Structures are given as C-alpha cells and as structure tokens.
Amino acid sequence: MRISSPSSAAPAAAGTPQLSIDGLSVVHRTSPHNLLVSDVSLQLPPGGALGIVGESGSGKSLTCLSIMDLLPGALRQSAGAIRMNGAPLAPGRKGIRGRRIAMIFQDPGATMNPLRRIGPFLSGLVKLHRGLAGAAAEAEAVRLLDAVRMPAARERLRAYPHELSGGQNQRVMIAGALAGDPEILLADEPTTALDVTTQAQILDLLAELRAERGMGLVLVSHDFGVIAEAADHVAVMHAGCVVEQAPADRLFSSPQHPYTASLLASIPPETGRASIAERQGRPPNNLPSQATRGIGIEARRLSRTFEARGGARVNALNDVNLAVQPGEMLGVVGESGCGKSTFGRLLVGLDKPSSGDILAGGEPVATKDGVAFRLSRRRLQMVWQDPLSVLNPRLTIGYQIMEVLQTHRITDDAESRMFELLRAVNLKAEHASRYAHQLSGGQRQRAVIARALAVEPQIVVFDEPVSALDLSVQAQVIEMIADIRNRFDLTGIFISHDIRVVRYVSDRIAVMYLGRIVEIGQADDIFHTPKHPYTQALLSAVLSPDPKRRKSRKILRGDPPDPAHMPSGCPFHPRCPRAAVRCSAEPPALHTSTDGRSTACHAVDVETSGLAWEFAA
C-alpha cells in the first residue's frame, strides 16, 4: 500500500529523473581545495536501480550520504544540487529522510540502537511517518517484518539487535526503511558485512521489494558482482570522480574507461586458470636450496573446542580427516564461523587441538613453546589476513626478514638473501628500508609472504590472504601466490570465503560447514559439478560480474548457524533444500566415490548407490 504525501502526489514530468545529482563536490572543511567528491552528476530514472561502484576511498559512500545531507561534520558539500523529481531538496532534508528517501547501511548490527527492541524501533518509525500509534503501529510493525520475509515476525518484536544475526538485522533495517513507504531506497554496501549466502538473500529481497513497490534504488558497493546483480544503470567512481557510467549490460560487456576495464579484469574468471597453466613451463628460479622439498600434511580426527563466554562450548572443528599431498595446494572454503581459520592455525601448530593428530611429513606437529616448536617453524608457516597487524610497526621490512634468516641460520649472507626474497614477491630493494605503514596493502601482504618464505618452509597456510585488499590488488597477490607456490615447490593450504579465489589457486577444494568438511574434490569438479547441497548453494550465491548471467539461484533458507548451538544429525539439515527425516537424526559420514570426490551427504550417498533420494527418504 502507498500513502501519498502532498509533495509526492505531484506526478513527475515524463523524462525527469526521480533523483538527480548535478555537479556534486564534497570537501573537508579545513582544506577546501582537496575534493573528496568532485563534480559528480548522476541520475536515477523513475523506479530504476542505480549502482555506484568503486574501491575504498573512491567517494561513493560520501555521494550517497550527500543525498540525505548526512555528511560527517568535518566535511561539507561545496558545490552541486540534488533534486528529486526535478525539485531541489532543502538542507536538512526535512520531510525527505525516512519518508521519501530511506537508507540502509553496511553493518546492520551497528546501525541499530543496542538498547532498543525491534518492536519499539519499528512502531516508532510507523508512528513518526504515518501517525499510527499503539496496537495499530504494532500491527504495522509485524506487517513490515513480514514484508521483509522475516520468519516468526511477531516474536521478533521483543528481540534486541544482539539476539539477531547480521542478515536478520539487515532485514529489520530494511523493514524500518519501508516504514515511511519511501519512493527511493539508498543502500550503502548493504551486504558487505554479510556472508555470501546471506548476501544472496538480501539482494533477492531488495529486488522483490523494488518490483512490488516500484521503489527507486541507489546501491553503493565495492563488489561488481553485487552491482551487476541488482543495478540496471552503473556509475564507476575513482578518486572522487565518476569515470564511467552506462547501462549495466553495456558497462560489463564493453567497459570504455581503462580503470573499469582493469577492475573487471581483476575478478577471478569463472573459466579455467590459463595464466597459471602458462607458467608451468617457466624455468625454475634459483632460490630453493633443495630439489624437491614439499612434504605432505595430514589431519587425523582433528577436533577443537572453545569455551565461549557464558560457559557454552563451541565445537569449532569436529572430527576432521584430511591429507594434503606433497606439492599440492588445497583450498578450504566456507562462511564465517565454519572453522576454516581454526583448522589453518591447527595445521601449522599455532593452536592445540582438543583431540586428534596432525602429521607433517609423517611427524607430529609441535604446538608447545620450546625448541621443537621453534624448529618446526622452518617447515610450517602461515600468512594472515591482515598484514598491517602482523608486521611489527617499529621495525623495517628488511630487518624483520633478516631477523628470521639469522635466527634460523638459513644463510651466511642474510642481506642478499633478503633482497632475493623481496624480488621473489615482486617488491623492490628500496622496500627493505620501509616500515609497514609506509607500504600499500598489497605490498604489505607481499612482505609478509616474503618473510614466511625466508625460512624456506615446506608447508604454508594462507588464511584469507587477500580478503583485506582492494579488488585490483587481490588479483596481483593471488597471481603472486600461485607463482611462488610453483617456484618454491610448496605444499599449501589456501583458506578463503570466496570460492572463486580458492578455485583460482587450488588443486583440490574442501568445503567446510560448521566445523566439518562436507565435500572435497578436484577444484574444477567442485566448481562445475558440486554434489553437496551446501556447495551448490555456495556456488549459486557467487555473483557474476555480468548482468546477463543473473542466474535463477538456489537461495538457502535461514542464517549461518551459531557453532555454539550445533543442530543434531547433519549440521546442514536445517537449511538444506533436500533434507529428510534421516538427516536430522544421523550425521552423514564423508564418503569417497569412484571419481575421487568425497561428500558428506545422505542424499548423495543414496543417489550414488543408484536409487532416487526422494523415494529413499
């Protein structure tokens, strides 16, 4: 239902954009010549979906905040006008905010008042924008929650934000945005803080709401996949300027501006790994001292339990068996809380398993501080997600690498080896004398990798090594990892939440869900013919940077579960589209089929034996 306020009743003249930004510039109050947003002009056609895409610091969020006149206090709009249906908007946006234009933000948990229950939050907005009070407002709150497909809407009214998951909180924020029945919804990175399967749910919801209500959408994101999925007109921003804008299909198929083209080219492709295959024939680098150095690593019945706050026990890792062959790169993929990082830390001995064994090259891995642990560091290394916190801020990059070389007496000439290592990760000699904060994100991660390589390790765990980096840098670092892996003959474990990235560098992929491996097999097989319903959903949630390939996706129900409340039977069954009675009773074992794929799923087992799952269930 729409209620028409007097101002929105006037129909827009044909061809007038619903929202237009003309020549917008934003500056810092104290340095008015430094333009953070520079002469940006954008139009949102009535009922359209405008995507603004760019890397961090491109000014996309400031543009979005300017529409609502919500710039941070230190900034101000120095030029430009913002019009709605041709009429300029007054400063302060009285009568606009929440009523004609609503907004949702990146971190849904933090955008909600932690002291306020969902019910008063929504009915308050209903009262503010529609004048309904009491029971009528509460009934409307329930309808809003229904409108955003919130399960058990009425019970949610008494919940606090901290009791809901990120995806649920974002639904509540959207419900709040709908309270004023706005004509336009601004969404600033609405899915960035969410897991991929939840992201797919939210994007679907936004698309449905647009269709139902004829609402205009301005979507800001750093992720081309998200933009391609939800926008029909796209503007690319870089350093405060719009470098290119075009209809979505044209922009993605034939980008005109070199910046757009280079960004699109850095997205891991969905077909093949040509660049790495090409390099296989390259002459070996002179760095590694031995000929074949790779050793395998094996996890046997590995479990790790944590004591959570409030005394609950969390099974981060549950009876995992896995063997990585010498020289192999194994990808581990899963959503947050699936235990993949715990698994990585355990493999290199930085954490102690609650039960089970880890054997590297047949020997148990030391976890206790001591001589054995320090010696084991020469074989096992780890590369973390956030290179800035991992590098010592007060020591130069060169010192930190040489320190490692000298501690382990790797070579007599530590300095020249340090420079060789820097070269191996495509850093220059001058970077040796720099401090971490003087390097870019990509350079820092290269330095971390160079330091890890200094001990000439045999096994390296890469834990989300590119997640903190901008897209264009991600691709370079991934390439570099693939490269050094070949040159140094490493056995590697590559952990990421992004299955495209994992597939790009890995020989095999293990998919994890709630502390278990649910499927493992050759990377291409997993990617093209996933068997486990969760793997299928994960792949289906991957957003292609090509609007023509918007798929009919298999969207998972519900939210990623809390490892403190493990479901019975198969941990995936509450969200599984194929779940049957058996799945809630009996956890499936990881069974290996003839083609070398292992899957932990009753349905797959039944179908492998030639029966139809629907009948067997």
Binding segment for other proteins among 49-57, 100-108, 200-208, 531-539 (CB under 8 A)? 100-108
Which CB atom, from 77 or from 598, has the smaller least distance to other proteins?
77
CB of 527 to other proteins, least distance (A): 31
Measured over the CA atoms of residue 107, residue 109, residue 113 and residue 117, the dihedral's sign is positive
Does 444 help bind other proteins (rule: CB under 8 A)? Answer: no
Shortest distance (Å) from residue 70 CB to other proteins: 6
* Comparison of 452 and 502: residue with beta carbon closer to other proteins: 452
Q: Which is nearer to other proteins, 116 or 557 (CB)?
A: 116
The interface region with other proteins, picked from 332-340, 368-376, 522-530, 562-570 by CB under 8 A, is 368-376
CB 266 within 8 A of CB 472: yes
Beta carbons within 10 angstroms of residue 467's beta carbon: 14
Strand partners, 494: 331, 462
Selected from 376, 491, 535, 598, the binder of other proteins by CB under 8 A is 376
Please check whether residue 580 is in contact with residue 602, taking contact to mean a CB–CB distance below 8 angstroms: yes
Q: What is the CA radius of gyration of the chain?
A: 26
Closest to other proteins by CB, 265 or 375: 375
Do 158 and 118 form a contact (C-beta atoms < 8 A)?
A: yes
Q: Largest alpha-carbon pair distance within the chain?
A: 81
Q: Which residues contact 199 (CB under 8 A, 6 or more apart)?
A: 191, 226, 541, 543
Quote the least distance from Cβ 11 to other proteins, whole Å: 23
SS3 track for 48-86:
CEEEEECCCCCCHHHHHHHHCCCCCCCEEEEEEEEEECC
Cβ distance to other proteins smaller for residue 405 or 537: 405
Output the 3-class SS for 109-146: CCCCCCCCCHHHHHHHHHHHHHCCCHHHHHHHHHHHHH
CB of 238 to other proteins, least distance (A): 23
Site string for other proteins, 574-613 (x = CB under 8 A): ----------------------------------------
Considering the rule CB under 8 A, would residue 160 count as an interface residue with other proteins?
yes
| Residues 338-357, interacting with other proteins (CB under 8 A) | 348, 350
Distance CA 145, CA 165 (A): 15
Separation in Å, CA 420 to CA 389, 416, 445, 456, 493: 24, 6, 17, 13, 24
Q: Is 324 helix (H, G, I), strand (E, B) or coil?
A: strand
Q: Which of residues 402-421 bind other proteins (CB under 8 A)?
A: 403-404, 407-408
Site for other proteins in 445-504 (CB under 8 A): 448, 451-452, 455
Closest-CA residue to 385 (of 351, 344, 330, 415): 344
Of 395, 555, 564, 566, which lies in the binding site for other proteins, with binding defined by CB under 8 A?
A: 395
* Residues with Cβ within 8 Å of residue 257, at least 6 apart in sequence: 236, 243, 244
Per CB under 8 A, which of residues 306..325 are in contact with other proteins? 310-311
Tokens of 518: 């649910």
Nearest CB to other proteins, comparing residues 70 and 261: 70
Q: Which residues contact 507 (CB under 8 A, 6 or more apart)?
A: 328, 329, 330, 522, 523
| Count of alpha carbons within 13 angstroms of residue 310, beta-carbon side | 3
**Nearest Cα to 494, choosing from 504, 26, 196, 548?**
504
Residue 67 or 477: the one with the smaller Cβ distance to other proteins is 67
Residue 26 or 539 having the CB closest to other proteins: 26
**Beta-strand pair 75-84/355-360:** unpaired
Among the residue ranges 38-46, 158-166, 324-332, 466-474, the one whose residues contact other proteins (CB under 8 A): 158-166
**Nearest distance, CB of residue 414 and other proteins, angstroms:** 14
Q: Return the bridge partners of 150, or none.
A: none
End-to-end CA distance of the chain: 43
> Interface with other proteins includes 70 (CB under 8 A)?
yes
CB of 129 to other proteins, least distance (A): 7
Site string for other proteins, 175-194 (x = CB under 8 A): -xx-xx--------------
Which span (3-11, 101-109, 140-148, 227-235) binds other proteins, by CB under 8 A? 101-109
The footprint of other proteins on this chain (CB under 8 A) covers a number of residues equal to 62
Reading the block at residue 320, the tokens are: 């995992």
State the binding string over 258-297 for other proteins (x if CB under 8 A, else -).
----------------------------------------
In this complex, which beta carbon is closest to other proteins, that of residue 121 or of residue 504?
121
Residue 431 structure tokens: 């970077």
Residue whose CB is less far from other proteins, 116 or 551: 116
Residues 107-126 touching other proteins, rule: CB under 8 A, are 107, 110-116, 125
- Residues engaged in binding other proteins (CB under 8 A): 68, 70, 73, 95-99, 102-103, 105-107, 110-116, 125, 128-129, 160, 162-163, 173, 176-177, 179-180, 310-311, 348, 350, 369, 373-378, 381-382, 384, 389-395, 403-404, 407-408, 435, 437, 448, 451-452, 455
